[in-house]
Amino acid sequence: MLALRKLALTDMRSHARLTLEAGPGLVVLTGDNGAGKTNILEAISLLAPGRGLRGVGLSEVARSSGDGGFSISGEAETLSGMVTLGTGTRAAAPERRLVRINGAARPAAALGEWLSLVWLTPAMDRLFTEAASARRRFLDRLVLALHPDHARQSLRYEAAMRARNRLLAGDQQDPGWLSALEAAMAEHGAALQAARGDTVRALADMLADMPLDGFARPQLRLHDESPAGLAAALAVSRARDAAAGRTLTGPHRADLEVVHAGKGQPAARGSTGEQKALLISLVLAHAALVRERRGAAPLMLLDEIAAHLDAERRARLFARLAETGAQVWMTGTDRALFTEADAATRFHLEHGQLS
């Protein structure tokens, strides 16, 4: 299984120093608002590729009263054995991310080879009404758990696209260099499309077979209008893209379309509660799919997940989470919300102290 056994933070957000050890299965963090619960989830999320569950710059992660840098380290149980993961920054370069795996410096994308993570936060309750970019980031996190190379492909695609945009914005354009960049975008873009398509199809099949248990069933569709010959299409659209100041064609404009199957209506039209139920169904199906494909469910980070759920639905949720075999980190202000979470490792944060 995948499980984070030990986590240590230094000068990260509100935590000057914090160390905790957790067991497998359900892990519950409780405490008042502002106690630092979500900061712990964010720290875990930064042990994977990407900008973490808040999606902010690294300089914002460092403790405001620290020296400007921070460090996060974790000891994780993986399918390949125990591994020590570390990330952080130095005060002299607060936006330069450093990553170490078993003590050796590695690129951030390499973290995806060891841990797969998925998360839900209160800010995501309206995911379906936000811009397509938010849903695309959510989808790519799901894809990464099944296709660890997805982060590398995404980084290379975006690097080629940024270089192309800069070249188009200049006074002198090199057609040969533009063609090379467009070929790179087509190569890495095809890999992105294939991984996203596979994940959405597999999730749709998994959702069709899952019990509802009081949670809405979503229907999924990947909306990607990228042409089959992307390199040629990019070459034709140079003048248009130069005028727009950005690339208007490609998988970076894809969207995840979600429909409430029971009502036959787009998820965006549902209530906040319905949209949260759809998200919960999605992450449960994803955990089952990853476990089926890779032999272990991803780590799940669920911030304030029990809020606004009645006792019966909470009990169903905790039972379903336990069935996934995943290590699931959950936060909440009230310990009573997790009464039905059997055999959980429980921590309480108060005045910066962990008990």
- pTM of the prediction? 0.90
**Predicted pLDDT at 262:** 87
Per-residue pLDDT tens digits for 18-73: 999 999 999 999 999 999 999 999 999 999 999 999 999 999 999 999 999 999 99
- The fourth-level CATH superfamily of domain 147-274 is RecF/RecN/SMC, N-terminal domain (1.20.1050.90)
C-alpha radius of gyration, the chain, whole number: 21
User: How many other C-beta atoms are found inside a 10 Å radius of the C-beta of residue 248?
Assistant: 13
Q: Where are the domains of the chain?
A: 147-274
Report how far residue 58's alpha carbon sits from residue 333's, in angstroms, rounded to the nearest whole number.
27
Amino acid at 308: H
**Predicted pLDDT at 102:** 97
DSSP 297: P
Report how far residue 251's alpha carbon sits from residue 161's, in angstroms, rounded to the nearest whole number.
11
Strand (E) positions, 32-80? Answer: 70-78
* Residues of the chain scoring pLDDT < 50: none
